[in-house]
Structure 1
């Protein structure tokens, strides 16, 4: 029986099987792919902390530069905002695990290439080189049907690079903007994708500290752009559970 993601999974996530932290002990070298700086902490902060504690190599790839969160700020024009958000990522990852490496691809925020973009193949080639230079076993990706186009495009880029490079990787997707009922869209869960939850209760405080490191996204740090982005308390509450929800390709 097929499931509708927004109506079933997100309406009653407590009905989804929950696994202990030890369940990820066999993930091996792991890559967390974040469309924007902060997605890794919001969606996978608990998993990152647990992997680090288990002694598993974990790396983060941030795809876009994050400069569209406050496009009209005079105090933080794009170069300064990019640098700020990268510093926030480094601070967040220092909380989750002091040996978590990070790579910033710095693609334009709001314009991550999708399959219909002229530069899609160019970025896929960059990603192939990046992935092939590492001995990865598991990759966390944004949910393929996430309401945000950068998230969907990131999934397309990574899965295309994985397939064309003939890499065999465990692929696990995480939700971000589907948690917002105003943006959520119904999507049928593919038959080869299994939902499960990870118990992150022992590292929940670390995850919350990592999210709080993104002051540009959670506070009025940048107060000179009336149209600037800020994560609402209601949205942040979805990432304060003692578990994280994942969709794994089987």
Structure 2
């Protein structure tokens, strides 16, 4: 597979929660995988120097574990993405799309409860227009525990129409998630080890396999 894959992670760990197993599977099949990290911790946003340094170390470790072809950190303020003009977001993302020339793109779910996710989706989806980004052949939304599961229920729920068997990649996905130790907490926290496995089992049951990840296909050109 000579494919270029781009995952738009609003915050580091979104890529692993949403499509980590699929990224590993695609890489095993020969695809080049690319990681766009939209936001960053900053002291202006209230994060300590130690927290910022720890996150940088986590990102470096995770990038190596995946074997990403490239990592693009846009550096927008975490938890304050709604304060950034949409045109500025689109311009920054567009540069990555033009450089990577992705064939498949993974985006956050448009109705995720976190405003950062909503604004990132709007900007990233603008970068999938075929007449400007002809390399893009498939666009999918992924589900992120603690964000997608808290979306408004009135017609805004995540209804997947694509499932990927990640039974062979699930153990590695969990190893990568454990690098982000500050993001995992004991059950019943949404991003507990138990909750992550439960979702993979549930999606696997729908797909007829042990573990699966699910997606909403927004566009596919064959």
- Asked if Structure 1 and Structure 2 have the same fold, meaning a TM-score greater than 0.5 normalized by the shorter chain, the answer is yes
Match of 2:196 among 231, 236, 242: 236
Q: In the TM superposition, what whole-angstrom CA distance separates every residue of 1:139-178 from its partner, at most 9, and x where no partner exists?
A: 1000111111111111001112333972132111101135
Matches within 5 A, 1:52-91: 52-66=27-41, 71=46, 77=48, 79-91=49-61
CA-based RMSD: 3.0
Which residue in the other structure is 1:5 paired with?
none
Q: What TM-score results when the alignment is normalised by the length of structure 2? A: 0.78
Distance 1:80 1:239, change over 3 A: farther
Distance 1:187 1:86, change over 3 A: farther
Equivalent-residue separation in structure 2 for 1:112 and 1:165 (angstroms): 27
Which residue in the other structure is 1:16 paired with?
none
**Greater radius of gyration (CA):** 1
Which residue in the other structure is 1:159 paired with?
125
**Helix, strand or coil at the partner of 1:202:** coil
Q: What TM-score results when the alignment is normalised by the length of structure 1? A: 0.70
Equivalent-residue separation in structure 1 for 2:131 and 2:95 (angstroms): 9
Larger % of helix: which?
2
Equivalent-residue separation in structure 1 for 2:198 and 2:52 (angstroms): 26
The CA deviation at 1:35 is 0.6
Q: Which runs of 5+ in 2 are unaligned?
A: 202-210
Q: In the TM superposition, what whole-angstrom CA distance separates every residue of 1:99-141 from its partner, at most 9, and x where no partner exists?
A: 442111111111113xxx5622122112212211222111100
Q: Which runs of 5+ in 1 are unaligned?
A: 1-24, 221-228
The CA deviation at 1:237 is 3.7
Report 1 or 2 for greater relative contact order, CA contacts < 8 Å, sequence distance ≥ 6. Answer: 1
**Helix, strand or coil at the partner of 1:110:** coil
Equivalent-residue separation in structure 2 for 1:147 and 1:204 (angstroms): 26
- On the 8 A contact 2:200/2:213 being kept in 1, the answer is no
